[in-house]
Structure 1
Amino acid sequence: MDSRTWPCQQYNKCGEGETSMSRKSWLIAGSTLLAAQMALAGCSDGTSNDKVSPSASSAASGTAGSGSGEVTQITLWHMEEPPNRVERFNEIIDQFNAANPDIKVTAQVQSWNDAYTKFPAAIQSGNGPDLLFTIPDYTTVIKQLGVVQPVDDIVKSLDEKHGFLEAAVTPYQYDDHVWAVPAYGMVQVLWYRKDLLDAAGITPPKTWDELAEAADKLTTGSQYGIALPASKSMATDQVLYSFLVTAGAKNIIDGNNLITFNSENIVKAYEMYAKLLKDSPADSNTYTWGEPQAQFNAGTAAMAIEKGQYLSTFEEESGRPSTDLGITTMPVADGGEEGSIYYSNAIMMLTDDSAKQAAIAKFFDYLYDPSNYGNFLNAEPGLFLPVTEDGAAEGSSFWSDPVIAKYKDQVQVLLDASKNGQLFGFTNGVASKIGQISGPNYLAQTLEQITSKGASAAEAVDWGQNQMENAVK
């Protein structure tokens, strides 16, 4: 646990996947859309599993009568829609409610499709939640509504007890406050089929040169050396950014929204990606998150770059033993740096009601207890990673999940990779206009200049620089 000062006034290090962050991230839109979005109609009524509902917030009353006295009502919106995640989150919340009869947390499942359209209108009309799941980009958007409450004291208290990873907290530290409580992390690594690499006499690549050589050698017959996304999508943005990080070019926009995309190292990263695409399936220009994983599990691709969701389905879909699922950190360019893209998912507090804030602090205390926290994370084993030191410690509930226990070595690589995680827009101050870059997928669009329009990497990166500069004006 460090002696970090709260709040941190100077953001100095960066810290999301489908979820997984996948599904979250590709929907990110620029904050400039807010004015139009705010004019959209409110949301439909529904039950606890409905989309945005005017009855979702109990802010008007704050408490409800019960036989044992007043009960503080807390409404939480999350956008983790897969049934296994919904079920696990509900289990944790039900356990908290049972242990705290004076508090009732109600989870409502929303969609990232509505996050930039319906949520702002619902929030400003008083029908928003008390707690809202978020990612760094989205927090900069909702913060403009003036409803996000600083969580300095909550984060400080949790940090003292459990030790937050700096990369998880930093994207939410700016304007002299902390604006969300980190919940779980997601990080990219290089996955490889150990059986296929062993058969070819190839050791796991640690450098770009080794990666390119391995991909070329492993491309034979109906087998491809690697499967990479190359569509206009956040999936492509994410993998490309991991190459930018390892090229030594993680800073593409700073806290003053100054674009520094047109650099020699970024050109090299795009050259490398284009080279690897020659050893990726021909329809890679349609790939997002699922297709590389499917090719990898089928054995038609020997390598892929993605987050931890590869753990839970590998044996069933590949028909191979768990020992054939290889993992290593992202290969590094000559003169580059270790790292990859890392998303810190978090929870914003939108209520200024003191009773609710006290109840929320109690809920977070329960959630981050190591005996509970791992059960929450393992709603999606391997994808949702601990953001606290004791959450990842031996003996915590995180390691008790059968998938995590089976792939303990692979999970440790993911945890180690998280320590070098980066996120564009949050590496050199907080870029308030990062949504204008991530929303249109300008990283992926820059690649399309090469793959679809025949531009050189230098020409494509110059195009990307111009597009990004215009987007943040």
Structure 2
Amino acid sequence: MKKKLLVLFVILAMMITTACSSGEKEATTNQSSSGEFEGEITVWHSFTQGPRLEFMQAAADSFMKEHQKVKIKIETFAWPEFYTKWTTGLQSGQVPDVSTALPNHVVELIDVDALVPLNDVIDNIGRDRFYEAPLKEGTVDENNYSIPLYSHAQVMWYRKDLLEEAGLEVPKTWDELYETAKKLNNAPDVYGLSVPMGSGDMMATRFLNFYVRSAGETLITKDGKANLTSKAAIDGINYWINMYKTTSPEGSVNYKVLDQANLYYQGKTAFDFNSGFQIGGVETNSPQLLDKIDAAPMPKINANDPENGIETSNIPVVVWKNSKHPEIAKAFVESLYEKEEYIKFLHSVPAGMLPALKDIAEDPEFLNNPTIQKFDNAVKVISAAVDKGTAIGMENGPTLQSGIIVSQGVIEKMFQDIVLKDVPVNEAAEKAEKELNDLFKMLGK
């Protein structure tokens, strides 16, 4: 079934390519005779509620006030809906001028020639102001097809109070984490660490990636092959199986991202992995625990191993090739980074959304926020991780394989086969690696 789904995706990509090449709108002038911008653009974004939603409308209103012959239409779609909108919209030409995206979306859009490079926008803002790794995710042949709006990175969250009561240190290696989680495991009141393996999600892939990256390897090799059978990968699979059996709720074999996060939000796990969004989740569900949580760097194989980038999530903005007014679109994107409003946007999810600009990350105005100040250590840990990591599978640049490995549930099924069907680890890993490589091969057909 998964192969059939991928075949449909490949067919759709071919249809999109045809639509792009035959249905491009001819670019028209973006400026009036007086040199002012003139025209209408449409902006899609996936900030569906609260201050982030308000920021996008306010940014459009401000731009239209400054450029009174410009009209900006804002449309909002949740991430799953957004993916459907653009894949179908490209066939009919019904796509926006500007949109937010996810890194895997960007890779697919580059592959079907749907975007325009944003090198000039990045240079105008200041290329050296951006972290290098987020730019790399959207770069092909030195063309930057996306520009990161904000970033966050996966780090290890822990309960300070539980460690202090047990007289334990914050673990620095995977072995230390295992032993510490085992000692803190007091099920069903508090589990040491939940290990999620639910199908239809990417959490098991994420956890395996943590271990493999810390060993200096990647789940997708430089030549675009799946890596589930190297020593580091097999060690990682065994590690998480052992952790699941020792410290995790039995039901976590079916957990997805929210199931996993809610356990920590509610104070039912001693450790978890997440970005700064963890803070908001705890504040909403268990505000009494806010003084008892903190973040630390990802564990290593050995304490003296070098720092390897693990997983960073960068939410970028793109300009579509079908835009009739690409210069207006680019100017609007550039306006999103104006300091005062940009910082207000970041503060809408304090410590969750970190700046894409290095100087803003150190700006007193950005740092002068109660949540950021309260979680000063966690913010420093996450910020240090942002520039080292990438999206899963993009360590060597944007690849279509990265979208497959996180969306097809192959690794999740592998873990479930081991746990629920007692399939030997090496056998399950070899089968999953072959399945992924078969899927990868279809990309070239």
Q: TM-score, normalised by structure 1?
A: 0.81
1:406 aligns with 2:382: no
The change in CA–CA distance for 1:370 and 1:409 in structure 2 (over 3 A counts) is: farther
**SS of equivalent residue, structure 2 residue 220:** coil
Superposed CA offset, 1:421-441 (max 9, x none): 133322224333333322202
2:300 matched residue in structure 1: 332
1:25 matched residue in structure 2: none
Q: Give the Cα separation in 2 of the matches to 1:409 and 1:113.
A: 33
- Whether the aligned pair in 2 keeps the contact of 1:227 and 1:301 (CA below 8 Å) is yes
1:239 aligns with 2:215: no
Superposed CA offset, 1:405-446 (max 9, x none): 332322121111112213332222433333332220223233
1:363 partner amino acid: F
The change in CA–CA distance for 1:103 and 1:407 in structure 2 (over 3 A counts) is: farther
2:109 partner amino acid: I
- Whether the aligned pair in 1 keeps the contact of 2:25 and 2:323 (CA below 8 Å) is no
Q: Give the Cα separation in 2 of the matches to 1:118 and 1:30.
A: 18
What is the CA distance between 1:231 and its match in structure 2? 0.8
Structure 1 unaligned runs (5+)? 1-28, 41-56
What is the CA distance between 1:214 and its match in structure 2? 0.7
2:391 partner amino acid: L
**SS of equivalent residue, structure 1 residue 421:** coil
1:253 aligns with 2:229: no
1:72 matched residue in structure 2: 39
Specify which of 423, 444, 449 is matched with residue 417 of structure 2: 449
1:205 aligns with 2:175: no
- Whether the aligned pair in 2 keeps the contact of 1:132 and 1:349 (CA below 8 Å) is yes
**SS of equivalent residue, structure 1 residue 302:** strand
2:326 partner amino acid: Q
1:248-327 to 2 correspondence within 5 Å? 248-254=216-222, 256-278=223-245, 279-320=247-288, 322-327=290-295
Superposed CA offset, 1:47-90 (max 9, x none): xxxxxxxxxx999988799xx98743221111232444323332
1:148 aligns with 2:86: no
The change in CA–CA distance for 1:404 and 1:34 in structure 2 (over 3 A counts) is: farther
**SS of equivalent residue, structure 1 residue 422:** coil
- Whether the aligned pair in 1 keeps the contact of 2:95 and 2:322 (CA below 8 Å) is no
2:97 matched residue in structure 1: 130
Superposed CA offset, 1:28-48 (max 9, x none): x859605247879xxxxxxxx
Aligned-residue Cα RMSD (Å) equals 2.9
What is the CA distance between 1:131 and its match in structure 2? 1.0
Q: Give the Cα separation in 2 of the matches to 1:71 and 1:59.
A: 16
1:35-434 to 2 correspondence within 5 Å? 35-36=11-12, 71-160=38-127, 163-221=129-187, 222-232=189-199, 233-254=201-222, 256-278=223-245, 279-320=247-288, 322-334=290-302, 337-351=307-321, 356-396=325-365, 398-434=366-402
**SS of equivalent residue, structure 2 residue 359:** coil
The change in CA–CA distance for 1:182 and 1:64 in structure 2 (over 3 A counts) is: same
Q: Give the Cα separation in 1 of the matches to 2:323 and 2:435.
A: 43
The change in CA–CA distance for 1:223 and 1:82 in structure 2 (over 3 A counts) is: same
Q: Give the Cα separation in 1 of the matches to 2:25 and 2:49.
A: 26
What is the CA distance between 1:218 and its match in structure 2? 0.5
Q: Give the Cα separation in 2 of the matches to 1:59 and 1:130.
A: 13
Superposed CA offset, 1:109-146 (max 9, x none): 12332344332231232211001222222112122332
The change in CA–CA distance for 1:82 and 1:454 in structure 2 (over 3 A counts) is: farther
- Whether the aligned pair in 2 keeps the contact of 1:370 and 1:390 (CA below 8 Å) is no
- Whether the aligned pair in 1 keeps the contact of 2:25 and 2:322 (CA below 8 Å) is no
Structure 2 unaligned runs (5+)? 17-23
Q: Give the Cα separation in 2 of the matches to 1:59 and 1:235.
A: 43
2:254 partner amino acid: T
**SS of equivalent residue, structure 1 residue 320:** helix
Specify which of 405, 414, 418 is matched with residue 437 of structure 1: 405
**SS of equivalent residue, structure 2 residue 192:** coil
What is the CA distance between 1:471 and its match in structure 2? 0.7
- Whether the aligned pair in 2 keeps the contact of 1:253 and 1:261 (CA below 8 Å) is no
- Whether the aligned pair in 2 keeps the contact of 1:227 and 1:296 (CA below 8 Å) is no
Q: Give the Cα separation in 2 of the matches to 1:91 and 1:258.
A: 44
2:20 matched residue in structure 1: none
Number of residue pairs matched by the alignment: 423
The change in CA–CA distance for 1:272 and 1:82 in structure 2 (over 3 A counts) is: farther
- Whether the aligned pair in 2 keeps the contact of 1:30 and 1:435 (CA below 8 Å) is no
The change in CA–CA distance for 1:358 and 1:196 in structure 2 (over 3 A counts) is: same
Q: Give the Cα separation in 1 of the matches to 2:342 and 2:38.
A: 24
Point out the structure with the larger helix share: 2
**SS of equivalent residue, structure 2 residue 429:** helix
1:308 partner amino acid: G
- Whether the aligned pair in 1 keeps the contact of 2:150 and 2:356 (CA below 8 Å) is yes
Q: Give the Cα separation in 2 of the matches to 1:469 and 1:38.
A: 21
**SS of equivalent residue, structure 2 residue 355:** coil
- Whether the aligned pair in 2 keeps the contact of 1:249 and 1:265 (CA below 8 Å) is yes
- Whether the aligned pair in 1 keeps the contact of 2:220 and 2:402 (CA below 8 Å) is no
- Whether the aligned pair in 2 keeps the contact of 1:253 and 1:424 (CA below 8 Å) is no
Q: Give the Cα separation in 1 of the matches to 2:348 and 2:381.
A: 20
